[in-house]
Amino acid sequence: MSDLSAVKAALKNQAVETPSWAYGNSGTRFKVFAQAGVPRTPFEKLDDAATVHEFTGVTPAVSLHIPWDRVEDYAALAGYAGERGLRLGAVNSNTFQDDDYALGSICHPEASVRRKAVAHLLECVDILDATGSRNLKLWFADGTNYPGQDDIRERQDRLAEALQTVYARLGDDQRMLLEYKFFEPAFYATDVPDWGTAYAHCLKLGPKAQVVVDTGHHAPGTNIEFIVATLLREEKLGAFDFNSRFYADDDLMAGAADPFQLFRIMYEVVRGGGLTADVAFMLDQCHNIEAKIPAIIRSVMNVQEATAKALLVDRDALTAAQRSGDVLGANAVLMDAYNTDVRPLLAEVRTELGLDPDPVSAYHRSGRAAKTAAERVGGQQAGWGA
Amino acid sequence: MSDLSAVKAALKNQAVETPSWAYGNSGTRFKVFAQAGVPRTPFEKLDDAATVHEFTGVTPAVSLHIPWDRVEDYAALAGYAGERGLRLGAVNSNTFQDDDYALGSICHPEASVRRKAVAHLLECVDILDATGSRNLKLWFADGTNYPGQDDIRERQDRLAEALQTVYARLGDDQRMLLEYKFFEPAFYATDVPDWGTAYAHCLKLGPKAQVVVDTGHHAPGTNIEFIVATLLREEKLGAFDFNSRFYADDDLMAGAADPFQLFRIMYEVVRGGGLTADVAFMLDQCHNIEAKIPAIIRSVMNVQEATAKALLVDRDALTAAQRSGDVLGANAVLMDAYNTDVRPLLAEVRTELGLDPDPVSAYHRSGRAAKTAAERVGGQQAGWGA
Amino acid sequence: MSDLSAVKAALKNQAVETPSWAYGNSGTRFKVFAQAGVPRTPFEKLDDAATVHEFTGVTPAVSLHIPWDRVEDYAALAGYAGERGLRLGAVNSNTFQDDDYALGSICHPEASVRRKAVAHLLECVDILDATGSRNLKLWFADGTNYPGQDDIRERQDRLAEALQTVYARLGDDQRMLLEYKFFEPAFYATDVPDWGTAYAHCLKLGPKAQVVVDTGHHAPGTNIEFIVATLLREEKLGAFDFNSRFYADDDLMAGAADPFQLFRIMYEVVRGGGLTADVAFMLDQCHNIEAKIPAIIRSVMNVQEATAKALLVDRDALTAAQRSGDVLGANAVLMDAYNTDVRPLLAEVRTELGLDPDPVSAYHRSGRAAKTAAERVGGQQAGWGA
Amino acid sequence: MSDLSAVKAALKNQAVETPSWAYGNSGTRFKVFAQAGVPRTPFEKLDDAATVHEFTGVTPAVSLHIPWDRVEDYAALAGYAGERGLRLGAVNSNTFQDDDYALGSICHPEASVRRKAVAHLLECVDILDATGSRNLKLWFADGTNYPGQDDIRERQDRLAEALQTVYARLGDDQRMLLEYKFFEPAFYATDVPDWGTAYAHCLKLGPKAQVVVDTGHHAPGTNIEFIVATLLREEKLGAFDFNSRFYADDDLMAGAADPFQLFRIMYEVVRGGGLTADVAFMLDQCHNIEAKIPAIIRSVMNVQEATAKALLVDRDALTAAQRSGDVLGANAVLMDAYNTDVRPLLAEVRTELGLDPDPVSAYHRSGRAAKTAAERVGGQQAGWGA
């Protein structure tokens, strides 16, 4: 896509969905460090998401997490979002924080626990109906910690049955996004541990079931862009949860740990038509020690920069080199795009959108952080526990 | 399976296929250390396989590797095997050692190279016809070393097309066993890198295509028994390539690096009906520094011991503990079987089969190694290169 | 050590120190599942430790964690332990849960935070004085999450300075045990990430500083027994934190994930004289979903079984095979010990010590769990937060 | 170093040593693909190294590997190099390709093998004397494949003894560079597996012994720049072997797999004074499928680009952000340098040095490859085996 105006148009059209929970407190099992000014309600999370959108211009949607974002009136929440130029995005289920779920949720050995978990998933579809969102995002903490603890195969049967029940409930324009994860919190066998398992279930469920690639949910060394290319080829790539990692599911800012990997992923997205297809680009991160709003702005910018570089790849030259077996030449075409400093291009894009060319600086200059911290005194800060 | 006679019967029925190439020299990229007495022809490899079968009683089949085991007359080779109480097993293709394959074989950017590779695969089916074997085992070294080197998605298209051509050629009783591998020799993107990719291709090909699990071909930390359970549930587990590893595809003796993992794998095999279903149990190892025949005998014994322990699991007690959510109890049932010393049981099994209860000792006492080394003087020792 | 009575004597002399916090609630960042009957005070933790010691006979010492186990009167706590046949073991510092420690403790960029952390470490030495324990166990969560966040080298300087201050405060019979950890909670650079770093610091500090090997704190694939052998050779192995893992710092029961690895570690301990030298054998585990007391009993038994097998290795035969370059023979000697079912031997050892031969069963038969759960109603259950 | 002229001066002064063996054929255990025009003698390797130096201007030294580069007259070889504007660099020993070394070299159980290996190392010091090089680079393939195979601790004793003998032989201006490697070709326990082991040995040997960091020789996830910072702080960083990897010791072109990591490493080098200290920057790579000379040129350029970015880091701003605990600000300072396109700067540097600003293009335009391929017909191409 050597046409610069087409590149700019693509960048202006890109939307990155931010997760409500990233605006709240988070941490590790060792400690959650609270931060000043953290929102206390789903409405305040939307306020923060609106701030991010105000400065980036590309984050109109906000993912919800139930029950963390449970409200009386979801239509009102959607209205509140709309007033701020936002829309409610994916509804994320939570079947891992109830005391009943110590040994799993929809894969639990007891039918009563499975029923409870399925009921929650169906509630999430109700919320989709209420908010007008289309994406039901399912991640299951289900798994076992010890060999023999439960029957691996029966857990797959239970999983398939529960997913089928939920799938049957989906409306025509709704879809189920199934996320896999290598490990944590299960430490022996996770019930949806890899893309193959998620893919196999989605295939049986039907076209409304697709796979979520969370960039932090793989075994060491996994070639994530291969998975992306494969799922796009199979028309089963539904969404990304972007974040970055050096070790496990570190949930650092997207693009922070391995920007080259993010570029390679975005290149496969562009090459496989994922930018214009119905793939949702979401963040799923934890800003444990850094300020949350600027961290989210930075993450969005990192995704944009990777996308811009991917769009700048000289596809004709690349194909020519690939077809002729020119290993170094083909690699050089890709690296040429990667090594380009795309920050001026993105600054232009922002200016053309009426935004400040430097979102992080603009945010800092706005004094928003101090203002919010002063306003949000008292109450219970949002976090994973509430 | 608390009935000891049933356990013994299962152990007597188990067959482990040994690979012809494990009898030849092997090594790393740094050095191949030649050993005395190594076979020089496919016929001598069969002689060695017959020795292993003579002492273990459970290794009647021998995998071939083409072109390493190319002969004028495959029927004669099969006859030679038959005379020694053996049969020819899987035919393994080789599309990685011809100079044309530097950038791949059936995924190569050039159609002429792909055609050459497919022709080789079809030749392997001809050999199946000639030997009466049913298993065509396909492992592809195909992949790329550098980002951008070739188009990941087009390589999948080429792969699919070639596999389809070969699949169409299979006889009614033949099947295609597709092996995946995490990396090596490709160091950036391998074209069949994980079970999900192999599964997706096999699913489209049809019921005669199944997946091979090589226990050394996974990312660090991968739960292999989960994959085994899943593939059995999907009826897509075709075969095992057993070996063991501490790091990468180390190809050490099966059971040498993590005997508990081998036990867990065999437990899922037993639990999923894989012992009686049509799953082929093969070794695929490199005995770089240890004597080959006793190493293979030891590997077979390790597989047998893991199988015996898996058969000894008290399934009723396990299920009861699992269903009641008794984490420690369920784990203890599994561990009780694992901690059992099954060597006396296997000694009994061997004695009942008319074998020496201690195959390694018996082999050493036989003086076979010295005799063979004395006989096999001169000529070109078999290895990966020939 | 083919003399069985010597093996038994060694097993009877072995002591495994249990951690007070393993008796309390624990979990992942996703959820802490509370369990019935969990202790509410350090005294109740000692009660539970006494129960474990009652059934195993080899767990006389209990590690404390400050501030989780902070009491008014440590002498009284020591006395309480003594009345139950226990003694207080290592004092573990905690410089990761105060709000000031978001960016580190003794490596923090601000001197005031470093001083606060050092003051806590010195308080821990005071507690050693009060309890008569000798081991100050130091693990630092210090590190950074993002490249550039802080200066790696200056953090080492700060670390060295703080350790020196604390080292200077140690009494003649006290020692500092420095623990390393690959990652978590720091996700980019941990300040003591590997044995080399811990070793280098201990070497400069002097003979009273030694390294702790936590079996869950290594990169994937790390050969832990090599580190054990090396540290013993360097006389710098101070202690073990036993637990097991499939993925990261999973903190599963010792011996649960890879019993062969635990055996290899114990073999190097035995071979290097670590069983009789001054190496402390500690557990450091999280029983997130399984009952805590029986899980600890099982872990202790797993350590005992690995030790028994290590003691049973025929050292003369092993050395002979090793010296003659007999790869398979040497491996077989080791495996022969590993494959032995040592449970009868340990049952004998326990009977000779006046214990029930089956500690887990005996614990369950005792009705202790139900009794404790009934007694411990109300109050605040112990966990990592208190 | 905000002064651009200082940055340029540093870049002009940087020297990257290229390895003679990278000009020869290489491959994996599966296949060595020969390339046209590959040198047949050490002299022709120097010709190729001169070509690389001609186009890059920063590769004056060439590492030798003995016996692959064994010649009658090393002074003549040095003279040949000198005539081409080159000098002979590190002498790399090889104690892994003789049949005697199947079970190790200086750690081998048999004293006679150890003596042979030590004799080879001493021969390498003789070559240092003859060539005037100062760096003896030692990498040992020594290790074991199976638990129990040999005694881990005794192997350390043998290692220490051999290194001491060689160290004692070093001239005043010579030094020993000890390289560690995680695994391969040893698949269970490598005798120098990590920086800690290399460091501990070097510390005991004395100031003339230093550690080599090969960027491909670490466990997955290892923070290499931490090791670099630590070794520089300890004054024990002697040299780099640059290459890159996605999986194991893939030996891809430096900077190809994770350019951000290479930048972080070079930042720690710059920050720790390694650029002006006596640290040797070497390549150690295998160009299995790509043309060798342009691959080496590209690798050198990648090292230069990483160095340029590292030099461009605004150290004052970084320190200010670090000291004030501004996580995002500090990270942003680092990333700002990384995201800069330094290719124009390096083009300037080259022009000022009288070089073509685009070395790869210039090389291709020169027609050198075709010319060399036409000249080098017949003979035995260089590779690892000769």
pLDDT, tens only, B64-111: 999 999 999 999 999 999 999 999 999 999 999 999 999 999 999 999
* Beta-bridge mates of residue A129: none
Nearest to D148 among C188, C232, C330 (CB): C330
The answer to whether B184 and D288 have CB atoms below 8 angstroms apart is no
- Angle, alpha carbons A124-A126-A132 (nearest 5°): 100
Ramachandran region of residue B36, left (φ > 0), alpha (ψ -120 to 50) or beta? beta
pLDDT band at residue B2 under the 50/70/90 scheme: low
A-D C-beta contacts closer than 8 Å: 52
- What pLDDT does A307 receive? 98
Q: Could you give the percent of chain D with pLDDT greater than 90?
A: 97
* Torsion angle of the four alpha carbons C183, C187, C189, C190, in this order, in degrees rounded to the nearest 10: -40
Nearest to C196 among D149, D195, D260 (CB): D195
**Cβ–Cβ of D149/C327 closer than 8 Å?**
yes
pLDDT of D1 higher than 60: no
- CA A308 to chain CA centroid, nearest Å: 19
- What pLDDT does B277 receive? 79
| Class of the domain covering B14-305 | alpha beta
Interface membership of B67 toward D (CB under 8 Å): no
The answer to whether C57 and C316 have CB atoms below 8 angstroms apart is no
ipTM over 0.90: yes
**What is the distance in angstroms between the Cα of A246 and the nearest Cα belonging to chain D?**
6
- What pLDDT does B213 receive? 98
Nearest to A29 among C27, C33, C256 (CB): C27
Helices assigned H by DSSP within C148-291: 152-169, 195-205, 224-233, 259-271
CB contacts of B99 in chain D (<8 Å) are 33-34
Residue B99 CA to residue C21 CA, distance in Å, equals: 61
pLDDT of C386 higher than 60: no
pLDDT, tens only, D281-309: 999 999 999 999 999 999 999 999 999 99
pLDDT, tens only, B211-267: 999 999 999 999 999 999 999 999 999 999 999 999 999 999 999 999 999 999 999
pLDDT of B313 higher than 60: yes
Interface membership of A218 toward B (CB under 8 Å): yes
Q: What is the mean pLDDT of residues C283-302?
A: 98
Nearest to C103 among A184, A187, A289 (CB): A289
Residue A14 CA to residue A12 CA, distance in Å, equals: 6
CB atoms within 10 A of CB A67: 13
**Cβ–Cβ of C343/B339 closer than 8 Å?**
yes
How many helices (H) and strands (E) are present in chain A, helices listed first? 14, 10
Interface membership of B290 toward C (CB under 8 Å): yes
**Cβ–Cβ of D341/A340 closer than 8 Å?**
yes
Interface membership of C335 toward D (CB under 8 Å): yes
- D246-275 residues touching A, CB cutoff 8 A: 246-247, 256, 258-261
pLDDT band at residue C3 under the 50/70/90 scheme: confident
pLDDT, tens only, D188-243: 999 999 999 999 999 999 999 999 999 999 999 999 999 999 999 999 999 999 99
pLDDT of B1 higher than 60: no
Give the CA distances from residue C28 to residues A99, A141, A146, B143, C287, in Å, rounded to whole numbers and listed in that order: 14, 11, 16, 38, 11
pLDDT of D2 higher than 60: no
Nearest to A221 among D220, D328, D338 (CB): D220
**Cβ–Cβ of D289/B145 closer than 8 Å?**
yes
**In the block, residue with structure tokens 């690959």:** C182
Instruction: Using alpha carbons, select from A331, C329, B26, A27 the residue that is nearest to residue D290.
Output: A331
**What is the distance in angstroms between the Cα of C359 and the nearest Cα belonging to chain B?**
13
pTM > 0.80: yes or no: yes
pLDDT, tens only, C305-326: 999 999 999 999 999 999 999 9
Counting as low any pLDDT under 70, the low residues of chain A are: 1-2, 386
Burial A247-269 (b: 16+ CB within 10 A, else e): bbbbbbbbbbbbbbbbbbbbbbb
Nearest to A260 among D259, D294, D332 (CB): D259
**Cβ–Cβ of C102/A250 closer than 8 Å?**
no
- What pLDDT does A2 receive? 56
Interface membership of B323 toward A (CB under 8 Å): yes
- What pLDDT does B63 receive? 98
What mean pLDDT is reported for chain C? 97
Side-chain-facing half-sphere of C126: CA atoms under 13 Å: 12
**Cβ–Cβ of B294/C328 closer than 8 Å?**
yes
Better-scored residue on pLDDT, B261 or D278: B261
Residue D333 CA to residue D341 CA, distance in Å, equals: 15
pLDDT of C284 higher than 80: yes
Q: What is the DSSP letter of A27?
A: B
- B15-44 residues touching D, CB cutoff 8 A: 26-31, 33-34
Task: Provide the angle, in degrees to the nearest 10, between the axes of the packed helices B368-375 and B292-312.
Answer: 140
- What pLDDT does C2 receive? 56
Q: What is the mean pLDDT of residues B152-168?
A: 98
CB contacts of A289 in chain C (<8 Å) are 102-103, 145
Interface membership of B291 toward C (CB under 8 Å): yes
Better-scored residue on pLDDT, D340 or A276: D340
SS3 state of residue A185? coil
